[in-house]
Amino acid sequence: MFEWQELLEVLSLRDYNTRLVVSSAVLLGAACGPMGAYLVLRRRSLMGDALSHATLPGVALAFLASVWLGGDGKSLPLLLCGAALTGLLGCGVVQFIRDRTRIKDDAAMGIVLSVFFGLGVVLLGFIQSMPKGSAAGLESFIYGKTASMVQNDFFVLSGSALVVLSAPVLLFKELRLLCFDGEYAAVLGWPVKRLDALLMLLLTVIVVAGLQAVGLVLIIAFLVIPGASARFWTERLDQMLLLSALFGAFSGWLGAALSALAPRLPPGALIVLVASVGFALSFFFGRERGLFIQFLRRRFLMQQGDAKDDLVCHR
């Protein structure tokens, strides 16, 4: 059948462009998964949200700086550096507000998110009013341009994914202690602050690399959903990290491949929806914390309780 053939062709990555898009999505998913798992355990899931919005002024500033210096403003490394710079600054501000004032975590993230993004919008407004520079390429940082990735984007993405994925392997023990008992780690003399900063740095790397691919709202999904889904299946950190990477990669693969099947299916959105379905399945049927297993356990306990009551009564 024609349709099956097409489906097979897409899922097995025969077409060059599809191959590029799908492998980028898989890499990004695999790299974001474990980062998300750490964030979920640290109860900072929405840090990705604040961070991704905080990159916008950096992108715009880098563009302005490059035009000012006589370039055309489209140099990818420069734009990414700018994004990383203000992204990190945003993380720092969140940390500062949280530590130094009465304002809590969530509001601190909200303040950074909205004010930095507002600044980004203002700077983009400047750029749009410029006579020569065109801001056309910068839009892709907000909405993503998964379907029109080029080889350079792919190289940036794979490099970042490699860096980010090496952290859970090299620093497994340290990060585990940080996630489960940060204060104990501090008492033991671990450099907790530096580890935290490292985690934020890695988060920045993957967010900046992924921005162009899926856009700044959908990268949040990549950072939250696989990690949260993996939590339903296991109580062990190593398994959780592995599972979240697998979930991320699988959503990336299926979502991007499905979007290649028909026109007008935005890959970023489809990837997120695939991941959401995965989350729903984990939520109900996860082996450790799913609703179904919780229900069975409760019923088992109640039956045991009944049996004991019987014994007491008949004795």
Partner 1 sequence: MIWYAIDSWIVVTGIFAAVACALLGNFLLLQRMSLMGDAISHAVLPGLAIAYLLTHARASVVMFAGAAVAGLLTALLTDTISRLGKVDRGASMGIVFTTFFALGLLLIVQAADHVDLDPGCVLYGAIELTPLDVAWQVDLGGFLWEVPRAVLVLGGTLCLNIGFVIIFFKELRLVAFDPELARTQGLPVAALHRGLMALVAVTAVAAFEAVGSILVIAMLIVPPAGAFLLVRRLPAMILVSVLLAAFSAVLGHAGALVVPGWLGFTSTSTSGMMAVAAGFLFLLALLFSPSNGLLANWLHNREGNR
Q: Please report, as ranges, the residues that interact with partner 1 according to CB under 8 A.
A: 39-40, 43-46, 48-49, 97, 100-107, 109-111, 113-115, 117-126, 129-130, 139, 142-143, 217-218, 220-221, 223-225, 227-228, 231-232, 264-266, 268-270, 272-273, 276, 279, 283, 289, 291
Amino acid at 212: Q
| Choice between 156 and 237, CB closer to partner 1 | 237
| Choice between 156 and 212, CB closer to partner 1 | 212
Q: C-beta of 75: minimal distance to partner 1 in Å?
A: 21
Are 151 and 20 within 8 A, CB to CB? yes
**What's the rounded Cα separation, in Å, for the pair 267 and 270?**
5
| Choice between 101 and 166, CB closer to partner 1 | 101
Amino acid at 103: I
Question: Which two three-digit tokens encode residue 163?
Answer: 């860096």
| Choice between 95 and 156, CB closer to partner 1 | 95
Q: C-beta of 133: minimal distance to partner 1 in Å?
A: 11
| Choice between 126 and 180, CB closer to partner 1 | 126
**What's the rounded Cα separation, in Å, for the pair 29 and 252?**
6
Per-residue b/e over 245-262, b at no fewer than 16 CB within 10 Å?
bebbbbbbbbbbbbbbee
Q: C-beta of 270: minimal distance to partner 1 in Å?
A: 7
| Choice between 115 and 261, CB closer to partner 1 | 115
Q: C-beta of 5: minimal distance to partner 1 in Å?
A: 25
Are 14 and 211 within 8 A, CB to CB? no
Q: How big, in percent rounded to 5, are the helix, strand and coil portions of the chain?
A: 80, 0, 20
Are 256 and 21 within 8 A, CB to CB? yes
Q: C-beta of 137: minimal distance to partner 1 in Å?
A: 15
Q: C-beta of 166: minimal distance to partner 1 in Å?
A: 25
Q: Helices 237-259 and 218-231: crossing angle, nearest 10°?
A: 140
Q: In the chain, what's the furthest Cα-to-Cα distance? A: 93
Amino acid at 74: K
Q: C-beta of 187: minimal distance to partner 1 in Å?
A: 24
| Choice between 71 and 125, CB closer to partner 1 | 125
Q: Among 56, 50, 182, 32, which Cα is nearest to 106's? A: 50
